[in-house]
Amino acid sequence: MMTEKKKIIWIEYLGFICAVSAFGLVTENTYYLQIMTFIGINTLLGLGLNMLMGYTGQVSLGHAAFYGIGAYTTAILSGTYGINPWLALVCAVAAAVLIAFIVGLPTLRLSGYYLAMGTLGFGMIVNIVIRECAHVTGGASGFVGIPVLEAGSLVFMAGPGYYFLVWATVCVAMIICRRLLDSRTGRALRAIHDGEKAAVAIGINTHFLKLEIFMFSAALSAIAGFLYAHFVLFISPESFGFMFSIKIVTMVVIGGMASVWGAVLGAAVLTLLPEVLHGFAEYEMIIFGTVLMVVMIFMPQGLNRGIMDMIRTARRAKA
């Protein structure tokens, strides 16, 4: 039998899917659809990192590397060698997962600042490789010639088609994350977050579980990279550098860690802020920092939990 709490969760998901679908059907402005598409891509990144940080308690400062691996793998395979982009997607995810396994096997034995520094170093190495292998990746000048996505007679270009493709992917990813968190694996993840030594004591293979989530997170990032590459049709190393890794972490923190909805909120805020501050580009980092400080002071558990607490307080005051 489905519990009352699970019913509410699935009603929330159904409402979210209806709202996203309605926006895509009603909105004719290409600019708004483009912004929402970027929010969807960033939500995938936030979801992956939130599974690692929010539920497992492992900090990664190099997550943009997997985003870049996904983008460059599909760009090179489909743009240079003419491989079908959907097959390139499989290769991109496989490459990200394999690299996550190789990197995570030794790195995830670390914790705290040591783990953060290890993942930071990995991210920097990937960015340097992309820049230096100019004959393959285009180097600092970027990679051009990425083909448009097609599926039979459907052509996914900027507009409603790509919007629905991205948000359908996000909805599937959210449901997978929710199912994973409601399973035995999800309970084990929370146990690791609350106390790794206690989790080991009750028989949880913490290293293997952290490695699994690291690989799952890398897969979501690679899918986001694939969608980004075939949306903008041009990629450069700047899009996958250290600052973007920090931006993904900020999305998770602002939205709310250990919350699927927090990934959506964080992605929306961090994607919309540069658009709102378009005329104040030189102050962007200052404003970003101020927003982060305000959220951490007044809503230390993120916007998702903070907004829910405000609603509950208002209801109690009204009652």
- Tens-digit pLDDT profile for residues 269-315: 999 988 887 777 677 777 777 877 888 788 878 888 888 888 788 88
Contact in structure between 197 and 203 (CB atoms under 8 Å): no
Give the confidence band of 6 by pLDDT, cuts at 50, 70, 90.
Answer: confident
Least confident span in 80-94, 100-114, 246-260, 280-294: 280-294
Identify the residue with better confidence: 6 or 119: 119
Does pLDDT of 226 surpass 90?
A: yes
Count the neighbouring beta carbons within 10 Å of the beta carbon of residue 151. 11
Residue type, position 298, single letter: F
Give the confidence band of 1 by pLDDT, cuts at 50, 70, 90.
Answer: very low
What is the pTM (predicted TM-score) of this model? 0.94
CB neighbour burial string for 10-48, b if at least 16 within 10 angstroms, e if fewer: eeebeebbeebeeebeeeeeeeebbbbbbbbbbbbbbbb
Average pLDDT over residues 8-24: 89
Local structure of residue 182 (DSSP, 8 states) = T
pLDDT per residue over 175-210, tens digit each? Answer: 999 889 888 888 888 888 878 888 888 888 888 999
Average pLDDT, the chain: 90
Which token pair is 213? 């989530």
- Tell me the domains of the chain and their CATH numbers: 4-318 (1.10.3470)
Give the confidence band of 144 by pLDDT, cuts at 50, 70, 90.
Answer: very high
Which token pair is 144? 């051009």
Contact in structure between 60 and 52 (CB atoms under 8 Å): yes
Average pLDDT over residues 110-120: 87
Least confident span in 45-49, 111-115, 151-155, 278-282: 278-282
pLDDT of 281 reads 67
∠38-153-16 over CA atoms, to 5°? 35
pLDDT of 207 reads 87
